[in-house]
Amino acid sequence: MASKQPWLNPAVALGGLAPLALLAVQGAQGELGANGIEFALNQTGLFALAVLMASLACTPLRLVTGWTWPARIRRTLGLLAFTYAGAHFLTYSVLDQGLDVRAMAEDVLTRPFITVGFTAFALLVPLALTSTSKSVRRLGFPKWQRLHRLAYVAAALGVVHFVWRVKKDVTEPVIYGAVLALLLSVRVGEALRKKRALAAQRTA
C-alpha cells in the first residue's frame, strides 16, 4: 500500500537539512561572523539536540493525541539528529582541533564537558546503523526497541553537555532538560498504565 502522505518524509528531510546547507554555504564564504567555527559548533550542536528531542517526542505525541504521522517521521528525525551530531563532531575535530589526535584524546578523557558530548555522539552511531527496517527484523523488535532507548540517554547527555558549556546563564539548556523530562514522564506514565491494565486483566 502506498503511504498516505508520500511527501511527509522527503519534506522533513529537506527542511531539516536546509539549515545545514545554509551553514555550509555561509561558512565557505566566511559569512559566519568573527568566530565562524564557534558559531558553526553552536548551531550544529543545538540542532542535533533539538532534532533528537523532536524524534523522542514522536511516541509521546502519538500517545497523547492519537495521531499516527509522528511515528512515520521518527526515523527521518533520528537520522537528521545523527547528521547534525556528526557535523558538530566534524566541526570540532577537523576545523577546531585540526585533527590533533592528542589534544582531542585529552579533551575526551579529562574534560567532563567533552566526555559527555562525545559519549552522546558515540551512542547515536549504533542507532543510526540499525535504523533500517531490515535491522528491526534481524534484531527482533523487543531487542531493537531496548537498543533504541539509548536515544534518551544520548539526549540527556546532550543536555548536560549544553549546561556545562554555558558560562553563566543556564536558562536555555535547562528548558531543553525540562522538555526531555516531560517527554520521558509521558512514556513512564504509559508504561505504568499498561502494567496496571495487565495486572487487572490477570486478577479478573
Partner 1 sequence: MRDKLPPEPPGSEVTPEKVYLRRRELIKNAGLFAGTAAVVGGGLYLLGMKRTRPMDGFVPDAGQVAQPVAPAAGAFDTTEPRTPYEDITTYNNFYEFGLDKNDPARRAHTLKPRPWTVVIDGEVHKPQTVDVDQLISSFPLEERVYRMRCVEAWSMVIPWLGIPLGKLLERVQPTSFAKYVAFTTLEDPEQMPGQKSPVLDWPYVEGLRLDEARHPLTLLATGLYGKQLPAQNGAPLRLVVPWKYGFKGIKSIVRISLTREQPRTTWNLANGREYGFYANVNPAVDHPRWSQASERRIGDTGRRPTLPFNGYAEQVADLYRGMDLKRDF
Binding residues vs partner 1 (CB under 8 A): 5-8, 10-12, 14-16, 18-19, 26, 31-39, 42-43, 46-47, 50-51, 95-98, 100, 103, 106-107, 111-114, 164-165, 167-169, 172
Amino acid at the residue 194: K
Nearer residue to partner 1 within complex by CB, 95 or 156 = 95
CA pair distance 45, 37, nearest whole angstrom:
12
Amino acid at the residue 138: R
CA pair distance 90, 95, nearest whole angstrom:
7
- Cβ 194 to partner 1 shortest distance, Å: 31
Residue carrying the nine cell digits 566526555:
115
Residue 33 sits at φ, ψ, to 5 deg, of: 90, -175
- Cβ 16 to partner 1 shortest distance, Å: 5
CA pair distance 33, 38, nearest whole angstrom:
9
- Cβ 156 to partner 1 shortest distance, Å: 19
Query: Alpha helix (H) ranges present in the chain?
Result: 8-28, 36-65, 69-72, 74-90, 101-110, 112-129, 133-139, 141-148, 150-165, 171-203
- Cβ 168 to partner 1 shortest distance, Å: 6
Nearer residue to partner 1 within complex by CB, 18 or 129 = 18
Nearer residue to partner 1 within complex by CB, 36 or 147 = 36
Residue carrying the nine cell digits 548536560:
160
What Rg do the C-alpha atoms of the chain give, in angstroms? 19
- Cβ 10 to partner 1 shortest distance, Å: 7
Nearer residue to partner 1 within complex by CB, 110 or 201 = 110
Neighbours of 26 (CB within 10 A): 15
Nearer residue to partner 1 within complex by CB, 95 or 147 = 95
